[in-house]
Amino acid sequence: MLAPIAPGHLPVLGNLYSMRTAPLATLTRALRENGDISRVEFPGGQRGHFLFHPDHVKTILVDHAKQVSKDTPGFAALRLLLGNGLVTSDGPVWLRQRRIAQPAFHRAKIFALGGRMVELTRRTADEWSVAAKAGTTIDVAESMMRLTLRVVADTMLGKDVERDAAGVGRAITYLLHNLNERIVRPWAPPVTWPTPNNRRFLEARDSVVRVVDEAIASRRAKPDAPGGEFLRMLIEARDEETGEAMNDQQLRDEVVTIFGAGHETTANLLAWTWSWLSRMPHVRRKMLAELDEVLGDRDATAEDYPKLPYTRAVLSESLRITPVVWLLSRRLLQDITVGEYTLPAGTLAFLSPYATHRHPGFWDNPEGFDPERFMEGATSNRPTLAYFPFGAGPRKCIGDTFALVEATLVLATLARRFELELPPGMVPVPEPVITMRPRGGLPMRVRERS
Ligand code: HEM
């Protein structure tokens, strides 16, 4: 028995056209019209399914984690940027690297970085202060990108990127758009062909890799310099059986991966959160009351993290309604039964936080922004994977605690001092290019709180 075909299916192009032109609308329409499972088809004989039910998300990401792979068009495109690092690798290579990286992400280690995260946030506060006095508008999406880049480079790699931040931010924005185009235009020339588009892509990629190479070289030159625990661990790691260090290419791929995955996502979470706070004054007031009560007139520290439940709930709700990673893909290595259907080996499975976080079976008023859903005591019989902004199972985000601690400290530090306002009537539009960011940035007026 075949699952119903997803809406927007065309001859030859199948579902590619609607996924290319209106991916979020295609997903939510499929959920509304077909329910939990829809079949999709793409040119070249690629077939797959959208799976929206939390139990089906669990079937793929948790129960059958070893029977699915990242051999998908989306990850193939990402590999052009990230190489074979933690996000994109599979099998024994992935397992070895995950074991090496895991200790750097221990909760206590992340908490120990809190002070540094706040110090780096104060630099952004200084910039905002100047903008507030001048009465100018700032692009909050760009500002958050620079801040989170500074944080990941400093804490994980031990590198000051102030000089490179703007250039790297622009390069990554361009690279994500370019990669997205490669996914939705499978007929585009391969990256090895010397077309102008490919040349631009490789130049942008080189500008990011250069910064990473510098970080590796300076860490090798001064292994005992403070900071950059993660990079030090990668350099010092030895294979248990052979005693060999990671080769240069693998090391570079891991570092580019953390550099990319570790800042762009958190920046977008923060950008979306500022936009929600501007649109929901009652939420902002309640969050400020919590910050004022817990912090008084001092900056936050990592120890405050557990004491700020409402601020954390605002971030959780932001990740529900505007999840930065909006679509995950896997290829089935064997037939897998999902509900009443058998999904054949070789086909693709698409899991969408954006759609499942709006599933009417599990969320009341899904389009409403309401942090109370995440407060302790809020009654819910939702299955765990009705909410999976960081993925699930063995491939779950390694940086989830890092991201949440960082975002909480950044929000607490800046919201205490500044009020941000969207231009009247502006509703940011999501642009889903691998990650979901506000289209055209986020121009906001900044005012110092009296
Ligand atoms: C709000 C911020 C973030 C979001 C929403 C996010 C989301 C995700 C998701 C959904 C996955 C799973 C992908 C899949 O299953 O295909 C993932 C994996 C990953 N993330 Fe994050 N992430 C965030 C922040 C970070 C940070 C701060 C770091 C590092 C400092 C990081 C590093 C990684 C890595 C290395 C993986 C691959 C893990 C593996 O497969 O072993 N992420 N992330």
Residue type (1 letter), 320: R
**101 alpha carbon – ligand 1 mean position (Å):** 13
One CATH from 3.40.50.10420, 3.30.1490.70, 1.10.630.10, 3.40.50.970 for 52-448: 1.10.630.10
pLDDT of residue 280: 96
Q: Judging by DSSP bridges, how do beta strands 443-448 and 430-433 pair with one another?
A: unpaired
CA–CA distance from 337 to each of 68, 70, 249, 358 (Å)? 13, 19, 38, 24
pTM (2 d.p.): 0.96
Per-residue pLDDT of the chain (450 residues; tens, 9 = 90+): 899 999 999 988 999 999 989 999 999 999 999 999 999 999 888 999 999 999 999 999 999 999 999 999 999 999 999 999 999 999 999 998 898 888 888 999 899 999 999 999 999 999 999 999 999 999 999 999 999 999 999 988 888 888 887 788 888 888 888 888 888 887 788 888 989 989 999 999 999 999 889 989 988 888 888 878 888 888 888 877 788 888 888 999 999 999 889 899 999 999 999 999 999 999 999 999 999 999 998 999 999 999 999 999 999 999 999 999 999 999 999 999 999 999 999 999 999 999 999 999 999 999 999 999 999 888 778 999 999 999 999 999 999 999 999 999 999 999 999 999 999 989 999 999 889 999 999 999 999 987
Q: Return the closest-CA partner of residue 87 out of 394, 395, 331.
A: 395
Strand order in the sheet with 443-448: 137-139, 443-448, 418-421
Any ligand 1 atom below 6 A from CB of 328: yes
CA distance 43 to 14: 7
CA distance 28 to 57: 16
Q: Return the closest-CA partner of residue 207 out of 179, 162, 166.
A: 166
Ligand 1: residue whose CA is nearest its atom 3: 265
pLDDT of residue 436: 96
Q: Judging by DSSP bridges, how do beta strands 418-421 and 348-351 pair with one another?
A: unpaired
CA–CA distance from 133 to each of 62, 72, 136, 137 (Å)? 51, 49, 8, 11
Which residues have CB under 8 Å from 342's CB, separation 6+?
335, 336
Each domain of the chain, given as residue ranges in start order, spans 52-448
CA distance 264 to 272: 12
Any ligand 1 atom below 6 A from CB of 266: yes
Any ligand 1 atom below 6 A from CB of 87: yes
Residue type (1 letter), 148: T
Ligand 1: residue whose CA is nearest its atom 27: 262
Any ligand 1 atom below 6 A from CB of 140: no
Atom of ligand 1 nearest to the CA of 268: 1
Mapped onto helix, strand or coil, the DSSP state of residue 176 is helix
Mapped onto helix, strand or coil, the DSSP state of residue 432 is strand
CB under 8 Å, gap of 24 or more: what pairs does 55-58 form? 55/339, 55/383, 55/385, 56/338, 56/339, 56/351, 57/351, 57/356, 57/385, 57/388, 57/392, 58/383, 58/384, 58/385, 58/392
pLDDT of residue 150: 93
